[in-house]
Amino acid sequence: MADIESHDYDVIVIGAGGAGLRAAIEARSHGLRTAVLCKSLFGKAHTVMAEGGIAAAMGNVNSGDNWQVHFRDTMRGGKFLNNWRMAELHATEAPQRVWELETYGALFDRTADGRISQRNFGGHEYPRLAHVGDRTGLELIRTLQQKVVSLQQADHAEHGDYEAGLRVFAEFAVTDLLLDGDHVAGTLGYWRESGRFVRLRAPAVVLATGGIGKSFKVTSNSWEYTGDGHALALRAGARLINMEFVQFHPTGMVWPPSVKGILVTESVRGDGGVLRDAAGRRFMFDYIPEVFKDSYADSPDEADRWYSDPDNNRRPPELLPRDEVARAINNEVKEGRGTPHGGVYLDVASRLTADEIMRRLPSMHHQFKELADVDITSERMEVGPTCHYVMGGVEVDPDTAASSVPGLFAAGEVAGGMHGSNRLGGNSLSDLLVFGKRAGAGAAEYLAALGGERPEVSEAAVTDAVNSALAPFEVTDARGQENPYSLHAELQQVMNRLVGIIRDGAEMCSALEQLAEIRQRAARLAVPEGNRQFNPGWHLALDLRNMLAVSECVASAALRRTESRGGHTRDDHPSMNPKWRGTLLGCELRDGSVEVTEHPQPPMREDLMRLFSPEELGKYFTEEELAVVRTPS
Ligand code: FAD
């Protein structure tokens, strides 16, 4: 492998979404030579698709907001399974990260008195999402990219080379992490266009690869989201947590079939849109769970008054956390009250003027007009749940984003813990910025502690990784060959049907059996035709390894957790169980198979416990855990 293209860096960041770019900016700002690798075009990541906004308790629209309220909302949304330290750092640092974006050039929508405007979203007590119409992610990525360019210009001025401190490798897919013993030493990847391999050496690697949605048939995720970072971490020996928690966003498009799953932003509901069954009935009032009864309106009149007088009325139930709304829609359809295409109606046309809709939701108007020939200023949208986000990911140290593998860091959607069992809308964009920055700083700290020492990448490790990536070209016996497209379709069906929004033990056992069979067949995956030059069949064959590993984690952990909480709903175990609140399920690879183990959740610090009433905590915690708040401080 001596002739393989090779590069040396201090830090490699895999992923150029919000988390990856913020980590790279931080690493470069610490004077480290940094590479950013991304599977698709630079600028094309899920972050760019984010519509609603960035959650940060700036208190611009309601001065009652502060980090403690944001922390409380996040913990409630995650049903207290969140890593409390991550939720604390996130709530305290999100406003600084938003203001910092302004210094990079972001142009947020403004309030009448000129401050950054903030909008309502499900599960957030106050208007909290800083936004740019319904194109917030685009502005976030635009400004982070602009910052990258300005750093590159500074490097050019100093070194005569734009890429001296920060280089972007676009349309470049990483297939494996390279290790020296148990330490990270680099990555192996390939240029998607030519299929040529590249070895990158670096003592620190930050995973920022986003989600896993492409393992499910109906999803808001695009083609890149095949759980690569999750699988790379597993294969390198790291532990994933919370993998049973997959978020089904309540509102994806359901018609026409070619666009099924594409997201309909929660801002539609945040700005006044309501959900109705086929007969036009506003059904969410039937689905307010006991734990949220005190905070949500129980009549349409009160719910409607809340938009103009939030201090004296309770919130509309359409703004319950996503897991609750998704289950409600699922049930309406199951009970036969759904629309002709198997969804429910989302009605903003009868609630806002056409002008307001065009101003607040321009992308949604465009999306429905172009894709479904529906004019949302006068017609209702048809919507239903779609696989959207994975709460589970690499277990990290909250302060440094370090995983248990020395030199391996993770931030953004690929990291686990922050959102517990269910993420609140808007909390992802803030998560990316807060923990992206921390991961870059964590990598810098790690390098400083290493001193001059550098792990080595052995030739044998590179040869193994190359051979493994080329395996789909080696299956020559036509009778045994498996086609990556059909196997992918089967995997998606299994996950959607048997490990989807409502789960039960028998179905998940069946899913695991079917996944095991797909795994056996995947050993005979063959590239249907062509060579390594831009060959989508080969790309998918490589992605499938990752999707399979991640799907096995989701199904195995979901089978083990015998309760319902957040994004994990068991028909056979319908209630929450305090024993499980204190338990994290970890997934690791042992001899190539996924092993699930139970780990205690770190107990929450007393001052944070005291931000909640003992009555509220009593709904989630055991009496023993509550002793600390039952005594006066
Ligand atoms: P991403 O932005 O997903 O980027 C991942 C990067 O990793 C990409 O560059 C990809 O190419 C790269 N990558 C992946 N695998 C490899 C590999 N093997 N090799 C090299 N590169 C690789 N959240 C909010 O907070 N507010 C919202 O309003 C909102 N709206 C959303 C709307 C939609 C339609 C979707 C899909 C999500 C939305 N979310 C929202 C969620 C949020 O956008 C994502 O969770 C978040 O952007 C993930 O960011 P990230 O930086 O972790 O990864």
Q: What distance, in Å, lies between the first and last C-alpha atoms of the chain?
A: 64
pLDDT in tens, 231-264: 999 999 999 999 999 999 999 999 888 899 999 9
47 lines ligand 1 (CB under 6 A): yes
What architecture is the 252-386 domain classified under in CATH? Answer: Alpha-Beta Complex (3.90)
C-alpha 50 – ligand 1 centre gap (Å): 8
In this prediction, residue 611 carries a pLDDT of 97
**DSSP code string of 103-154:** HTT----B-TTSSBPEE--TT-SS--EE-STT-HHHHHHHHHHHHHHHHHHH
pLDDT in tens, 577-611: 999 999 999 999 999 899 999 999 999 999 999 99
What is the longest distance spanned by two Cα atoms in the chain? 73
pLDDT in tens, 488-519: 999 999 999 999 999 999 999 999 999 999 99
Q: Which residues contact 410 (CB under 8 A, 6 or more apart)?
A: 206, 207, 208, 229, 233, 238, 393, 394, 396, 401, 403, 439
257 burial level (CB within 10 Å; 0-12, 13-18, 19+) = exposed
Nearest CA to ligand 1 atom 27: 50
Query: Among 11-20, 148-157, 177-186, 472-481, which stretch is predicted with the lowest mean pLDDT?
Result: 472-481
What architecture is the 474-581 domain classified under in CATH? Answer: Up-down Bundle (1.20)
C-alpha 390 – ligand 1 centre gap (Å): 11
Atom of ligand 1 nearest to the CA of 136: 28
C-alpha 621 – ligand 1 centre gap (Å): 33
In this prediction, residue 164 carries a pLDDT of 97
C-alpha 1 – ligand 1 centre gap (Å): 33
Are 365 and 376 spatial neighbours (Cβ–Cβ below 8 Å)?
A: yes
Give me the chain's average pLDDT, please: 95
**What are the residues facing 259 on neighbouring strands?**
none
**Separation CA 357–CA 122 (nearest Å):** 19
Can you list the positions of beta strands (E) in 254-405? 274-276, 344-347, 381-390, 393-394
Residue type at position 441: A
Are 556 and 596 spatial neighbours (Cβ–Cβ below 8 Å)?
A: yes
CATH 3.50.50.60 boundaries in the chain: 5-245+391-459
pLDDT band (50, 70, 90) for residue 126 = very high
In this prediction, residue 475 carries a pLDDT of 76
Atom of ligand 1 nearest to the CA of 413: 52
- pLDDT above 70 covers what percent of the chain? 99
pLDDT in tens, 365-412: 999 999 999 999 999 999 999 999 999 999 999 999 999 999 999 999
Rounded to 10°, the helix 505-522/484-498 angle is: 170
In this prediction, residue 266 carries a pLDDT of 87
Could you tell which of 169, 266, 428 is best to mutate to test the pocket of ligand 1, judged by most ligand atoms within 8 Å of the CB?
Answer: 428
Could you tell me how many helices (H) and strands (E) the chain has, helices first?
A: 20, 20
Could you tell which of 135, 200, 206, 224 is best to mutate to test the pocket of ligand 1, judged by most ligand atoms within 8 Å of the CB?
Answer: 224
322 is catalytic: yes
CATH 3.90.700.10 boundaries in the chain: 252-386
The CB density around residue 534, as the number of other CB atoms within 10 Å, is 14
Q: Is the dihedral of CA 581, 587, 590, 591 positive or negative?
A: positive
35 lines ligand 1 (CB under 6 A): no
In this prediction, residue 452 carries a pLDDT of 85
pLDDT band (50, 70, 90) for residue 2 = low
5-245+391-459 carries CATH number 3.40.50.300: no
Atom of ligand 1 nearest to the CA of 21: 51
Could you tell which of 14, 38, 46, 419 is best to mutate to test the pocket of ligand 1, judged by most ligand atoms within 8 Å of the CB?
Answer: 46
How far from chain centre, in Å, is Cα 539?
22
In this prediction, residue 633 carries a pLDDT of 67
pLDDT in tens, 524-577: 999 867 789 999 999 999 999 999 999 999 999 999 999 999 999 999 999 999
Read off the pLDDT of each residue in 200-220 and give the average, rounded to a whole number. 97
247 lines ligand 1 (CB under 6 A): no
In this prediction, residue 631 carries a pLDDT of 77
Are 284 and 317 spatial neighbours (Cβ–Cβ below 8 Å)?
A: yes
CATH 1.20.58.100 boundaries in the chain: 474-581
460 burial level (CB within 10 Å; 0-12, 13-18, 19+) = exposed
In this prediction, residue 1 carries a pLDDT of 65
In this prediction, residue 209 carries a pLDDT of 98
Q: Which residues contact 552 (CB under 8 A, 6 or more apart)?
A: 512, 515, 519, 594
In this prediction, residue 122 carries a pLDDT of 87
pLDDT band (50, 70, 90) for residue 323 = confident
Regarding an ipTM greater than 0.95, the answer is: yes
C-alpha 379 – ligand 1 centre gap (Å): 30
In this prediction, residue 407 carries a pLDDT of 98
387 lines ligand 1 (CB under 6 A): no
Nearest CA to ligand 1 atom 37: 50
175 lines ligand 1 (CB under 6 A): no
Edge-to-edge strand order for the sheet containing 274-276? 246-253, 381-390, 344-347, 274-276
Q: Which of 276, 322, 503, 565 is catalytic?
A: 322
In this prediction, residue 529 carries a pLDDT of 74
Residue position matching structure tokens 């922050």: 418
Residue 480 pLDDT greater than 80, yes or no: no
Read off the pLDDT of each residue in 302-309 and give the average, rounded to a whole number. 93
pLDDT in tens, 69-94: 999 999 999 999 999 999 999 999 99
18 lines ligand 1 (CB under 6 A): yes
In this prediction, residue 3 carries a pLDDT of 84
240 lines ligand 1 (CB under 6 A): no
14 lines ligand 1 (CB under 6 A): yes
In this prediction, residue 528 carries a pLDDT of 66
